């Protein structure tokens, strides 16, 4: 190779590296990332913000960062808002309805009602069968769901039977215990291992205190976490091998990198789905009896008058208590999909305003998930919920159920309905919303979803003029086609699709829906036979 060509090649390589380096630097600022599953989320670093050019963005695609197996595509913070998870949106709605707000080794006693989402998990006492012994903690993440550690379920030979929500002192005579209806242990947990140490407890009745301000559940944290200040709470021992506390205790801790934590747990192998926290100065720590309790991070959300509590970890295990050795916690963000997938409790039929206190909610009797669906795949994205009671709305005309559509569909005008976000990364609607869309051919739709691959059992619809669209929170809602049948005096609604997924909201990109006609045989076997 001539020296001129070699010099030219070196120059090209040099400038490619410079451009690529600039792109990567731009990617790793405090920004927002789009995963290959089209989900947005912050990727936080300690660097200053650099705005990316289009060339830099193109170079960044798919190479900026990764969280285990999920690759991130990065976008400047000023360009794209962050999408809220459905769990966070529901949590914010709970706090919006609850007004404003202003165990532990070497910790301090919590103020009354300081942690209204805290729960104590109780068993029948070994001696005195009419008394309750509280051996673990948990955090209310909805009015009926308590997040805790899976190893707590093996606290004794019996399963826990009650939960005391509200963060009350255990000796408080005004406190109320709520019976446990069902326990969901993470399928990946193998006792006594410390991995996948997470479970959800379903209460028999909701916890909605009338006399406590800010009694909304805690939110679940879904983002990466780096050296954050957190608060651990629990009723556990106040010193190693000591006595448990009837008073709710708290300790201020700081999360540390897993790499640093692994030095203390060389035999255990600390993995990403775990996180560590300690207080090397005051030796604050969790201890026996604090298991399952939350570690909380408070965040200031712009449209609230108070900071909101987020559960970032669940107390799992540690070495001693108050020794300065980091405690190990289950990282909640690693299980956000499993938490959100937790089976629903009730269905509210009739298209009511969700804030309507007179609206009827019917409990779910059974869930039929399509056998071909593999989460988080977008194919065979269909399920049927069987209600415990039949729904008859006597005060409304034309309240018969919608009909499932069983024929091919081409360029039809359809209507999408739902309670989802009214704009991308915005707030959901308590009032049922509708938008008129047009069916788009799968061939045309595939141009927008080349990596996913649109197949016949899916259909696409959009409104490229007004940019109307379905959004987060509309998932599972119907896509309706109205047909004028001669034997009826009104148009009959047919469900032609079910809201499945899309790219953003209102961008003009078609949304993707499950094609009901492709599953008509499966539907009829469950519903009509």
Residue 500 DSSP code: E
Between CA 518 and CA 459 the distance in angstroms is 10
- DSSP β-ladder status, 249-256 and 307-317: unpaired
Partners of 316 in beta bridges? none
Between CA 236 and CA 250 the distance in angstroms is 10
Instruction: Assess whether 410 carries a catalytic annotation.
Output: no
Which of 423, 361, 427, 345 is closest to 93 using CA atoms? 427
Q: Is 155 left (phi over 0), alpha (psi -120 to 50) or beta?
A: alpha
| 3-class secondary-structure state, position 17 | helix
- How many other C-beta atoms lie within 10 A of the C-beta of residue 127? 6
Between CA 302 and CA 105 the distance in angstroms is 34
Between CA 99 and CA 217 the distance in angstroms is 13
Distances (CA, A) of 363 to 151, 184, 205, 360, 391: 29, 18, 12, 10, 11
- Convert 265-305 into a string of H (helix), E (strand) and C (coil): CCCCCCCCCEEEEECCCCCCECCCCCCCCEEEEEEECCCCC
Between CA 436 and CA 279 the distance in angstroms is 56
- Considering only CA atoms, give the Rg of the chain: 26
Instruction: Assess whether 353 carries a catalytic annotation.
Output: no
Question: Omega before 197 cis (within 30°)?
Answer: no
- DSSP β-ladder status, 433-440 and 346-347: unpaired
Between CA 32 and CA 60 the distance in angstroms is 13
Instruction: Assess whether 452 carries a catalytic annotation.
Output: no
Both tokens of 137, joined, read 């903690």
Residue in 197, 290, 381, 474 annotated catalytic = 197
- DSSP β-ladder status, 31-35 and 70-75: antiparallel
Residue in 95, 151, 155, 186 annotated catalytic = 151
Q: What percentage of the chain's residues is helix, strand, coil (to nearest 5)? A: 15, 30, 55
The residue behind tokens 């949106």 is 89
Residue in 273, 291, 334, 428 annotated catalytic = 291
Concatenated DSSP letters for 82-112?
Answer: PPPPHHHHHHHHHHHTT------BT-EEPPT
Angle at 470 between CA 503 and CA 462, to 5 degrees: 75
What does the buried/exposed string (b/e) look like for 25-55 if buried means 16 or more CB atoms within 10 Å of the residue's CB? ebbbbebbbbeeebbbbebbeeeeebebeee
Residues marked active site are found at 151, 197, 291
């Amino acid at each position: 190779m001539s020296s001129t060509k070699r010099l030219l090649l070196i120059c090209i390589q040099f400038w490619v590296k410079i451009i690529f380096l600039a792109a990567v630097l731009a990617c790793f600022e405090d920004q927002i990332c789009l995963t290959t599953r089209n989900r947005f989320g912050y990727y936080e670093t300690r660097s200053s913000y650099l705005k990316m050019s289009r060339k830099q963005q193109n170079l960044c695609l798919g190479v900026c960062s990764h969280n285990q197996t999920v690759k991130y595509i990065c976008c400047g913070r000023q360009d794209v808002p962050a999408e809220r998870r459905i769990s966070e949106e529901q949590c914010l709605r709970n706090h919006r309805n609850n007004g404003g707000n202003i165990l532990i080794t070497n910790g301090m006693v919590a103020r009354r009602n300081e942690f209204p989402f805290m729960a104590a998990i109780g068993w029948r006492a070994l001696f005195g069968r009419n008394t309750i012994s509280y051996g673990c903690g948990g955090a209310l993440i909805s009015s009926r769901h308590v997040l805790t550690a899976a190893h707590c379920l093996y606290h004794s030979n019996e399963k826990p039977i009650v939960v005391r929500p509200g963060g009350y002192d255990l000796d408080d005579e005004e406190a109320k215990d709520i019976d446990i209806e069902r326990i969901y242990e993470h399928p990946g947990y193998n006792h006594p291992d410390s991995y996948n140490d997470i479970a959800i407890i379903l209460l028999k009745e909701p916890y909605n205190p009338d006399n406590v301000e800010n009694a909304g559940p805690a939110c679940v944290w879904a983002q990466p976490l780096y050296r954050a200040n957190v608060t651990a709470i629990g009723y556990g021992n106040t010193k190693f091998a000591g006595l448990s506390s009837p008073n709710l205790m708290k300790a201020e801790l700081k999360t540390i990198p897993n790499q640093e934590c692994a030095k203390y747990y060389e035999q255990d192998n600390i993995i990403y789905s775990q996180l560590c926290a300690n207080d090397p100065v005051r030796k604050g720590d969790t201890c026996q009896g604090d298991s399952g309790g939350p570690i909380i991070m408070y965040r200031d959300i712009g449209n609230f008058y108070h900071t909101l509590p987020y559960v970032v970890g669940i107390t799992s295990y540690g070495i001693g208590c108050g020794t300065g050795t980091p405690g190990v916690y289950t990282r909640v963000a690693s299980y956000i999909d499993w938490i959100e997938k937790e089976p629903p409790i009730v269905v509210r039929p009739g298209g009511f305003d969700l804030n309507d206190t007179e609206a009827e909610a019917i409990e779910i009797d059974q869930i039929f998930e399509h056998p071909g669906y593999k989460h988080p795949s977008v194919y065979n994205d269909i399920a049927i919920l069987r209600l415990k009671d039949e729904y008859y709305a006597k005060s409304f005309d034309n309240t018969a159920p919608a009909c499932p559509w069983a024929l091919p569909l081409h360029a039809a005008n359809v209507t999408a309905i739902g309670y989802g976000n009214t704009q991308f990364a915005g707030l959901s609607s308590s009032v049922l919303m509708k938008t008129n869309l047009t069916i788009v051919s799968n061939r045309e739709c595939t141009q927008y979803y080349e990596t996913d691959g649109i197949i016949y059992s899916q259909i696409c619809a959009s409104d490229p003029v007004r940019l109307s669209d379905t959004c987060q929170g509309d998932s599972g809602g119907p896509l309706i086609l109205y047909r004028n049948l001669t034997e009826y005096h009104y148009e009959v609604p047919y469900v032609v699709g079910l809201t499945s997924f899309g790219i953003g909201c209102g961008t003009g990109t078609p949304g993707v829906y499950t094609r009901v006609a492709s599953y008509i045989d499966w539907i009829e076997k469950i519903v009509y036979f």
